[in-house]
Amino acid sequence: MTTTTPEGAAAAAAAGGDILRVEHISKRYGAVTALTDVNMHLGYGEVLGLLGDNGAGKSTLLKILCGFQPATSGRILLEGQEVVFKSVDDARARGIDAVYQDLALVNQLSVFHNMFLNREQNSGPLLNNRAMRKLAREHLEEMGIKIPSVNVEVAKLSGGQRQAIAVARSVYSNPKILLLDEPLAAMGVKEGAIILDLVRQLKEQGNVSIIIIAHNYGQVLEVCDRVNLIQHGEITYDKRSAETSVTELTEMVVAEYRQALEERQRLGQHPHIPS
C-alpha cells in the first residue's frame, strides 16, 4: 500500500498525517515493567529524536516497533491501520526496518557480504559475489559512505564506518520507517558526523520517516524535527526541535536525576544530595 492510492490516502488522513502512531503501549518482562503507557506519533518524512536515561525503555519500544517482540498491551497504527507484527521479517515486509544498538553485523565477513546478509530477497535470487560487490559499492557510493573497499572485513572498520554500513544496509531495503538505536553511541565527533550526514540526506530525500535514539542533545536537535523524552516507561515530553534547546533538555534530565537521588535518600540508600 502506498499513500498515493485512494485507500492509502484515506488511511493517511485517518492517521492525521502520521505514518505511525503508538497508543498506550506497555511492556512487562516478568516482574519488570519496561514501558507503562507510551503514546507517540511519527509524521511522514519526519525525523523524531527519542531521548531518555539508561533503562528508560527506549530500546524496548524500538524492538516492539520493528517486530522483534510484542507489546504487553496497546496498539500500533501504520498509515492509519492497526498492525500486529508477527516478526522482524513481517515488520520489514511492511516497510519498517531497524538498526539495533548492537548492530548485528558479522565482523568476520566482508562489507559486501554484510550488506546482503539475510536480505537476499530484496535484490533478486542467487546473487553472486561479483554482483553483490558491485551493488554494495554503488549503494555505498550513492550514500556517500567512504570505506577502503567492500572486500574488507567489517572487523577492520571504525565504529563509525560499521554503523554507516548497518544504516546503509537498512536503507537498501527502501523502508518507509527507519528505527535507529543509538547510532552515535561511542563515536567521536567526526564519526558521528558520518551518520548525521546520512540522516540529513535521507531527510532531504523525504522518502523515509526516522526515529533516532541518541544521547547527545546537540546532535539530536541538529538533525531531528521533533524530540520526545521517555521517562519511567512513558513519553513525558514532546516538542519541536526549533522550540527547545540543549539547556532545556539538560535541565529536564538533571531534574530527573535529582528526583531519583532524593528518592534514594528518602529510602536511606544514599548519604547526601550534591547541591
Ligand X SMILES: Nc1ncnc2c1ncn2[C@@H]1O[C@H](COP(=O)(O)OP(=O)(O)O)[C@@H](O)[C@H]1O
* Per-state percent for the chain, helix, strand, coil, to nearest 5: 40, 25, 35
Residue appearing with cell numbers 531534574: 255
Nearer to ligand X, 54 or 269 (CB): 54
Cα torsion 119, 123, 127, 129: sign: negative
In the region spanning residues 105 to 164, those forming contacts with ligand X, defined by CB under 6 A, are none
Q: Is the Cβ–Cβ distance between 273 and 261 less than 8 Å?
A: yes
Residue 226: count other Cβ atoms within 10 Å of its Cβ: 18
Q: Which of 14, 17, 24, 29 binds ligand X (CB under 6 A)?
A: 29
**Nearest-10 crossing angle of helices 129-142, 159-172:** 100
Does the protein bind ligand X through residue 257 (CB under 6 A)? no
Q: How far is residue 41 from each of residues 79, 90, 161, 212, measured CA to CA in Å?
A: 11, 21, 30, 13
Footprint (CB under 6 A) of ligand X, residues 42-71: 52, 54-60
Q: CA geometry: angle at 117 spanning 19 and 90, to 5°? A: 35
Tell me if 228 contacts ligand X by CB under 6 A: no
* Residue whose CB is less far from ligand X, 34 or 96: 34
32 binds ligand X per the rule CB under 6 A: yes
Q: In the bound complex, what is the minimum distance in angstroms from residue 228's beta carbon to ligand X?
A: 12
**211 makes contact with ligand X (CB under 6 A):** no
In angstroms, what is the minimal distance from the CB of 170 to ligand X?
19
Alpha carbon 155 to chain centroid, angstroms: 23
- In the list ligand X, Mg ion, none, the entry touching 114 (Cβ below 5 to 8 angstroms by class) is none
DSSP character for 153? B
Restricted to residues 25-64, the positions that interact with Mg ion (CB under 5 A) are 58-59
Q: Which is nearer to ligand X, 135 or 179 (CB)?
A: 179
User: Contact residues for Mg ion (CB under 5 A)?
Assistant: 58-59
User: Contact residues for ligand X (CB under 6 A)?
Assistant: 29, 32, 34, 52, 54-60
